[in-house]
Amino acid sequence: MTSDYKRFALTRAGQAIVVVFLAYVLTFLVITVLPGDAITNALRDPQRGLSDEDIQRIVAFYGLDQPVIIQLALSLGRFLTGELGFSFQSNLPVTQLVGDALPSTLTLAASALLIAIVFAVAIAYGAQYLPHKWAAIVRSIPSFFLSVPNFVIGLVLIELFAFRLHSFTTTDPNSAVATLFAAVTLAIPVSAPLAEVLIASLDHESRQDYAVVARSRGLSEATLFARHLVKPSALPSVAMVALIVGELLGGSVITETIFGRDGIGTVVQNAVTSEDQPVLQAVVSLSAVIFVAVNLVADLASPLLDPRVKLNEKVGA
């Protein structure tokens, strides 16, 4: 590991920390200044059965009687130590609510990512090696995928495979088959930009001198694709995969609602409905951490995968 790469890695890690910090501060300020004093209303809701002593203890814990800057400092300090507070709606620890819902969402997002990669590779391969007429049709598939809303895809799959073909039941949304169709729903729009990048990369690499020489030596297109074109064509896709993580996280909320899955989407929906500030703050902040972490890994992996990447230029970018 060279000194240039170490300097590059430290710079990128520092930038990632700054981004997470700014995301947390912005989220906190937006939620805190929302009109209607949602926190006081939630605490004094008679259905919660909180006594004046309970309310005072919660106010002191969150520093609600302090200036906003003090509340921010207390909130940020708790976040750094993994203490996310308590839900105003359920009175349960936010870490418990998020921890119970996160595995389902991560399973859905990871499955969708794998399926999206398979879709993208299949589309890119077909666009490159099918006969011209069919290749032109295949090249239009990403645009079609992007034009269909996520919830429409989910409703169509439920109608076809759950109600007509009885491949799965909506009463068991966490079954393996139901999870598969939910992942396909999420993967279809996500695979579109990834396929477009792969198609453009394959078009470029297939015209390079080494590809021409390989063909002149009698190498088959399938062998050329597997041995020589996949790796350089996949390098731009690493950055694209990191970028679509945000779409995976956002799309998971809609997909979970459509398929009736209990995940982060349900937690967010309940928190928004009840204006549950600690839960909203925790979910948005953790989403920012996941997004930034994945992008950091992709950024650090690029120079290792492609020696043509100039570290000095990336650090200065």
What is the model's pLDDT at position 157?
94
Give per-residue pLDDT as tens, 248-266: 877 888 898 889 888 888 8
What is the model's pLDDT at position 44?
67
**Residue 188 in contact with residue 120, Cβ under 8 Å?**
no
pTM, whole model, 2 decimals? Answer: 0.79
CATH superfamily of 102-274: MetI-like (1.10.3720.10)
**Cα angle at 223 between 217 and 227, to 5 degrees?**
100
What is the model's pLDDT at position 284?
86
Q: Would you state the structure tokens that stand for residue 84, as one six-digit string?
A: 């996310």
- The angle, 0 to 180 degrees and rounded to 10, between the axes of the packed helices 277-305 and 230-259 is 170
What is the model's pLDDT at position 234?
73
What is the model's pLDDT at position 317?
46
Domain ranges within the chain, ordered by starting residue: 3-80, 102-274
Which residues in the chain come in under a pLDDT of 50?
313, 315-317
What is the model's pLDDT at position 119?
94
What is the model's pLDDT at position 316?
45
